[in-house]
Amino acid sequence: MSKKLLTIVSLLLVVLSVYAVKPKSEAALAPGVIISKLLDAYGGEENWINIEGYTMKCKISYPTMESTATIIGSVLLPDKVKFTIERMEGYIAKPVIEIIHNAGEVKRFVDGKETEEGGGVFAERQLLRQFMIDKRPLTILSLKKNVGKMELLGEENVEGKDCYILGFKNSFGNTEKYFIDKETFFLAKIETTDGVNYFTQYFNKHQRFGKIFIPVERESYRNNTLVQKSSEWEIDFRPPTEDIFDF
């Protein structure tokens, strides 16, 4: 074979290698595969399903209010929840709020005295939504429930992490987007809207508790304004005792 022909063959091989199909590890994955890998990354679907209860503690700061709160929560599935909220504004301690949901009955206390609203029904709803959606401390299982509606919308870099973007329209007709780290398959960001406001959550750090991983540093934005940060998470996935829910 002549040198000229060898050169042409070599060039063809180089061109073919450049345009060759990407290996499977780099190819786009189907939404169902991505969610399956996400569930595995967070500790496995079975371990989440088998949660009977847990006790958690975290610190939440509200930059626009110059306020922080330490929240201690106990959850015994399916219908027992207790929250204790210790709040500070600057260096001033606010009344301690305690909320107990026990099998459909609700009681609220401020500094040990029973009250009707317990310092804010809206805050109470937020806490219940944050920790009791699907009766879990994070909406991991909700993602699988909606996997049939999800589409792979593309990819984006989120704070240095290359992410898949999964999206679907919820029951209100609004699009929800989930940004999933291509390397770890942890959630990096969630974008949602109620049709008027836009909400963004960042999950900056994950930590293992028992068999399950939890995001322990989170930031929440409304219309690009930081409204809440949570950190210093501690979770014990052993069910709490019944007596702590007694009124």
pLDDT digit string (tens) for 50-66? Answer: 888 889 999 999 887 78
What is the Cα–Cα distance from 169 to 173, expressed in whole angstroms?
5
Q: Which residue has the tokens 């007596």?
A: 243
**What does pTM read for this prediction?**
0.80
Q: Tell me whether residue 58 is in a domain.
A: yes
The number of distinct structural domains making up the chain is: 1
pLDDT surpasses 90 at 125:
no
pLDDT of residue 198: 94
What is the Cα–Cα distance from 246 to 136, expressed in whole angstroms?
22
Q: What is the identity of the amino acid at 189?
A: K
pLDDT band at 213 (very low <50, low <70, confident <90, very high): very high
- Where does 26-109 have alpha helices with state H? 31-41, 45-49
Identify whether the C-beta of residue 29 lies closer than 8 Å to the C-beta of residue 38.
no
CA-wise closest residue to 192 among 214, 166, 154 = 166
**According to the per-residue pLDDT averaged within each range, which of 18-27, 116-125, 229-238 is highest?**
229-238
pLDDT of residue 116: 75
Q: Tell me whether residue 158 is in a domain.
A: no
pLDDT surpasses 80 at 123:
no
pLDDT band at 137 (very low <50, low <70, confident <90, very high): low
Higher pLDDT, 9 or 226: 226
Check the CA dihedral 182-183-187-189 and report its sign.
Answer: negative
Which DSSP category does 21 fall into?
P
pLDDT band at 122 (very low <50, low <70, confident <90, very high): low
Q: Whole-number mean pLDDT of the chain?
A: 83
The pair of three-digit structure tokens given for residue 183, joined into one six-digit string: 């390397």
pLDDT in tens, 16-41: 343 333 333 456 799 999 999 999 99
Q: Tell me whether residue 102 is in a domain.
A: yes
pLDDT of residue 27: 63
Identify whether the C-beta of residue 207 lies closer than 8 Å to the C-beta of residue 216.
yes
pLDDT in tens, 154-176: 999 999 999 999 999 887 888 89
The domain in which residue 63 lies consists of: 52-134+232-247
Q: Tell me whether residue 185 is in a domain.
A: no
Q: Tell me whether residue 215 is in a domain.
A: no
Q: Tell me whether residue 44 is in a domain.
A: no
Angle (CA) 21-24-26 rounded to 5° is 80
CA-wise closest residue to 60 among 207, 233, 239 = 233
Residue 8 phi, psi (nearest 5): -65, -45
pLDDT of residue 22: 38
Residues contacting residue 78 through CB under 8 Å, at least 6 positions apart: 135
Q: Tell me whether residue 79 is in a domain.
A: yes
Q: What is the identity of the amino acid at 123?
A: A
Q: Tell me whether residue 39 is in a domain.
A: no
